[in-house]
Amino acid sequence: MKGVRSPHPGHGRVIMTELTKAGQKAVAEGTKAADVVERQMLSVLSAEEARLLCELLKRCAAALEDEPSET
Contact 40, 19 (CB under 8 A): no
Q: Output the average pLDDT for the chain.
A: 88
The predicted structure's pLDDT at residue 63 = 94
Distance CA 37, CA 26 (A): 17
Q: Give the range among 4-8, 43-47, 66-70 with minimum mean pLDDT.
A: 66-70
Contact 7, 16 (CB under 8 A): yes
pTM: 0.60
Query: 18 vs 56, which has greater pLDDT?
Result: 56
Range list of β-strands (E), 3-70: 3-7, 15-19
Q: Give the range among 14-18, 28-32, 40-44 with minimum mean pLDDT.
A: 14-18
For residues 26-34, give the mean pLDDT: 97
Handedness of CA 63, 66, 67, 69 (dihedral sign): negative
Distance CA 36, CA 63 (A): 27
